[in-house]
Structure 1
Amino acid sequence: MTEDHLICISCGSSEDIAKVPSTCPACGGILDLVLGSDAPSRVAGPGVWAWASRLPAVRPQNRITLGEGATPVLQASRLARQKGLSDLWIKTDSLMPTGSFKDRAIAVATALACEYDRPGMVLSSSGNAGASGAAYAARAGRPIVILVPRTAPPAKLRQIAITGARLVTVDGPTSECCRLAEELSRERGWVNLTTTFHNPFGVDGYATIAYELAPLKPDVLLLPISSGPLLVGLMKGFEHLHAIGAIDRVPRPVAVQPTACAPIARAFDAGGDVGPWAHQPTIASALNDTLEGYENNGDYTLAKIRRHGGAAIAIAEAQILHSQRELASAEGILLEPSAAITIGAIAPLLAAGLITPDERVVAVGTGHGLKDLSAVSLDTASGATSPQDLLREI
């Protein structure tokens, strides 16, 4: 057993990190990475490895990086006033090397595949994780197979294809891709990079967002989620900071999902567990995961939300698109619909008393708008005009 190890949250079994497992071999449960108790501190290191003290032990030559992490956190004062908040910030993980927050998780998992010399990697993705996995596999010089729903945004598919990764489009939802990735991982001995809880190392990659946000002392975190490793990772980071006395409180997490695919939000409202959800299309394609066959992922996320007095909320399609335009026009920050969805949550959260106007609210911008501009039309864009109309107007 290496110093770093994994613990199953269901049966308590320990697993050697050197096996780079996906789920608990004993019961199929979610694995949690257990590290030492040292405080996270930035060190001289590239990318996410600046936080190496709170990541799995990996030799320097295997710390794969494209310069991820340390993204700007921007105050959105104009948008805050429009929304009835006094203090709103956007953590722009949309500015990561491949355009999404997934780079944090993928960098860590790819490094472990190299550290323990695994023969290959595989992942299921709605698009963003696939683009990230393809780029980091290329950086590491490792083979990878990426399973993506055929309905994924074309820009994301092209971003994967250009790296030379083996891209497989699947006629079915993300949950079907996830099932196939787990099967390939088990049969071939490949590392499963899928950024559900099938990649237990990714959670600690996302914890680095908490370390970067800690000086801001947020009260509330607005997080777009499908299964929830982003939320669990941030809470793990803040919990650790609180345990060692580095912060005096842990922020409340708010999970935001599209109404077309909201198994966690529905379970939160009902006060129960995550149940089956029928697949249907949504403009927030990165969040379109029904969790079919791994509903326990959603339950794990729900437990974190409830433990910290958080909430989960679903946002309608029209409001998602309005929020994307609202953020871009008010602050110049272009996020894809799956990331801008958090802005649409502010009004209903205020109305329900789940957040208050004087709290410091941080929305994590998980994906760049250039990832998916499919719903943006020049015919309806503010300011779109012809030269003839312009001459008549001035």
Structure 2
Amino acid sequence: MAGERDHMVCTACGAVTPIESVPSTCPQCDGILDLVLGEARNAAPEGPESAGIWRFAEHLPFCRPEHRITLGEGHSPLLAAPRLGAALGVEDLWIKNDSLQPSGSFKDRAVAIATSLAREYGREAMVLSSSGNAGASSAAYAARAGLPLFVLVPKTAPPAKLRQIVVAGARLVTVDGQTHDCCRLAKEAAETMGWVNLTTTYHNPYGVDGYATIAYELADLAPDVLLLPISSGPLLGGMMKGFERLKALGRIDKIPRPVAVQTAACAPIVKAYEEGGAVEPWTHRPTIASALNDTLAGYERDGDYTLSFIRKHDGAAVAVDDEAIVEAVRLTASTEGVVLEPSAAVPIAALKHARDALRLSPGDRVVAVTTGHGLKDLSTVGDAALPDAISPSFVNLRPLLNGST
């Protein structure tokens, strides 16, 4: 019986699919799949088996310890941000810095689960579409698992992320198209070849529960509002699923309000939220926040699913432009020492440039989840910000020291 084991349930038609096939979408209607945990649970991990997100094994799909793949993901710093909060007028601001993961982005949580299931159920290879971060993450975990991986990226992906993919030995395929083109090709490849689709949209339904582990790590802080950078939104969906599970278990008293933050250059979910309708595909435009530049063309339903969590929990969706994002990168680094890639800084930009839409109340405990390390994309700094060299003489150094305190 499906209820006795982990299984997948389609959110559109309700069809049940065995997890053993490691499906990407519903075989009946191509709908989004939701992981339902069965009665056979992972044992409480001990010692090396508790590494990474597998310390939450009781909340994750069943996987034998010898098939669990980890690079030590999870456990990201949770930092009070008083100087940044003061600059933004937020009394109780925190940063959940998920850029400090093994590959430099939050994607490691999702990829760790899906790669482990590929091992558990004997899949021969993996494939994904990525704008860069998911590809770098998947390449690292594929190498750890000893599995072949094909990564499809748009030609606009940042070079630093592509080098991460190549150095880990994955097969990089650059596509003369957009993210949604890569997503379509990865889905076709997975279905044709019988591989696991690691694409970190809802095409990777196990990754959603990987992101739920962020909620488990935030539970003791009891946040009121979550600010989350999103494209299709499984980060938001996964975290809300995690908080819902904790509430059902009686481990928390309240579920925080989620705020989805997108770049103004690509904001299909924000537009649907503001207009009260369904998500429509976006026309591609360039943006410094490359990791969020997904038009959702062909899988608009992903945005609708994310929007259902936002509406259910009285959340919001806002957009910020590139100028605000650059400002947020620099402000976060200079006030708290946290260096972020542009896409990860959009929650900070929203606190200043979309404040009214956030509907914050005085005293709200606000957590900004930051998702990608700044070393992946330093385009906001540029060579113009670097000083010219001086000769090695204190006479030349001394004038630079005046007024430094």
Which category of TM-score, normalised to the shorter sequence, fits these structures? Answer: over 0.9
Deviation at 1:356, TM superposition (A): 2.4
How many residue pairs get matched? 392
Greater CA radius of gyration, 1 or 2? 2
Conservation of the 8 A alpha-carbon contact between 2:5 and 2:39: no
Conservation of the 8 A alpha-carbon contact between 1:125 and 1:148: yes
Choose which of 380, 387, 390 in structure 1 pairs with 2:390: 387
Describe the SS at the equivalent of 2:260.
strand
Cα 1:76–1:41 shift into 2, 3 Å: farther
Alignment of 1:213-232 (within 5 A): 213-232=218-237
Describe the SS at the equivalent of 2:278.
coil
Alignment of 1:1-394 (within 5 A): 1=2, 3-36=5-38, 43-44=45-46, 45-352=50-357, 354-380=359-385, 384=387, 386-387=389-390, 390-393=397-400, 394=402
Give a deviation string over 1:33-80, Cα, whole Å, max 9, x none.
001489999743111100110111000000000000111100100010
**Structure 1: which 5+ residue stretches go unaligned?**
none
Percent identical pairs in the alignment equals 62
Conservation of the 8 A alpha-carbon contact between 1:62 and 1:115: yes
Give the Cα–Cα distance (whole angstroms) in 2 for the partners of residues 42 and 69 of structure 1: 17
AA partner of residue 30 (structure 1):
I
AA partner of residue 72 (structure 2):
G
Give the Cα–Cα distance (whole angstroms) in 2 for the partners of residues 81 and 189 of structure 1: 52
Moved more, 352-361 or 92-101: 352-361
Describe the SS at the equivalent of 1:314.
strand
TM-score, normalisation: structure 2 = 0.94
Conservation of the 8 A alpha-carbon contact between 1:71 and 1:96: yes
Conservation of the 8 A alpha-carbon contact between 1:79 and 1:327: yes
Give the Cα–Cα distance (whole angstroms) in 1 for the partners of residues 353 and 169 of structure 2: 44
Give a deviation string over 1:75-109, Cα, whole Å, max 9, x none.
10001011111111111111100000000000000
Deviation at 1:375, TM superposition (A): 2.5
AA partner of residue 178 (structure 1):
C
Deviation at 1:387, TM superposition (A): 3.2
TM-score, normalisation: structure 1 = 0.96
Deviation at 1:348, TM superposition (A): 3.9
Deviation at 1:353, TM superposition (A): 5.8
Describe the SS at the equivalent of 1:100.
coil
Conservation of the 8 A alpha-carbon contact between 1:227 and 1:298: yes
Conservation of the 8 A alpha-carbon contact between 1:65 and 1:136: yes
Describe the SS at the equivalent of 2:205.
coil
Conservation of the 8 A alpha-carbon contact between 1:38 and 1:54: no
Give the Cα–Cα distance (whole angstroms) in 2 for the partners of residues 259 and 218 of structure 1: 26
